[in-house]
Amino acid sequence: MATNYRLPIITADTVVVLNTPLPTDTGLKNGVLTVLDEASNVAIRIKAADFLSFNVASGSLGVANHIEIDLAGVTVIPNLTYSYSVYGPYAQNFFGGGTETGAIYTTRTYNVSLPAIPAPTLSMLADAFRDRINADTNAYFTSTTAGGASFKVLADSANAGALVSENIPNGAVVNQVTSWVSPVGTTQEILAQVNNAALVVGSVYDRVILNFRKPINSNIVNGLKVIKDTRLVIYLDTADAGTVAAVTLINSILDGSYTPVKAYLGCPAV
């Protein structure tokens, strides 16, 4: 059965998707950051003095988690039931109701036991867990062994998140083989925010998150504006030829290394 995944949604007040970014579309003048959209219209206009924090990340499909369950410290007893449970935090339990019931992930539990004849070994225990996991048609991971006292579990997708092991056999130890790396700028991530598939033509996008202060009108203060902490997310098609230069430029403006320094100065009315 196909598994659905749902990574945490980035909360943003404004999302801009750039499929053909150019360095000339981004500028800093008189203390104001300006970024043009695909139609060369001003999509972003923010005073540098209002920058709070930012994060820049390269587009990536992520890296699936790969773990090893080392059984070397387990005592093998014939006919004793051994249990192992594992789940990916972003795998959805569709039939359990998903977020409506709090069943966000699907925990899989595997019980195995070994007969007295032939004499059970740790290698046989590891193989039993491997076989039980791989026989599970609803699993979103696979298992392997290499003849030793351990079995490995590899998530099918980075979208599953970092695998969590529970209820492991007494004496077992969980080790990381390949650490989980979160996907960045995937189609799924962007569509969760913009809900317009026509805007997303690439497979992955570099991502810029900018938190800043934004003056807004409010009935709380008559005739004046109040400051709202605001979040902007910019997605730039990783495969486009202009993305590297555009992201480098935006990053330099946000981290304060942009030159000339006088570009940060001014008294703009934004």
What residue ranges do the domains of the chain occupy? Answer: 14-61+184-264, 66-178
Residue 269: what pLDDT?
Answer: 57
Task: Please write the tens of the pLDDT for every residue from 127-182.
Answer: 999 999 999 998 999 999 988 899 999 999 999 999 999 999 999 999 999 999 99
Query: Is the pTM value of this prediction over 0.75?
Result: yes
Residue 92: what pLDDT?
Answer: 80
Structure tokens at 64: 């699936």
E-state strands within the chain: 14-18, 26-29, 32-36, 42-47, 51-57, 66-70, 82-87, 108-112, 141-144, 150-155, 164-166, 173-178, 205-217, 225-237
**pLDDT over 90, % of the chain:** 76
Distance CA 242, CA 223 (A): 44
Task: Please write the tens of the pLDDT for every residue from 103-135.
Answer: 556 789 999 999 999 999 999 999 999 999 999
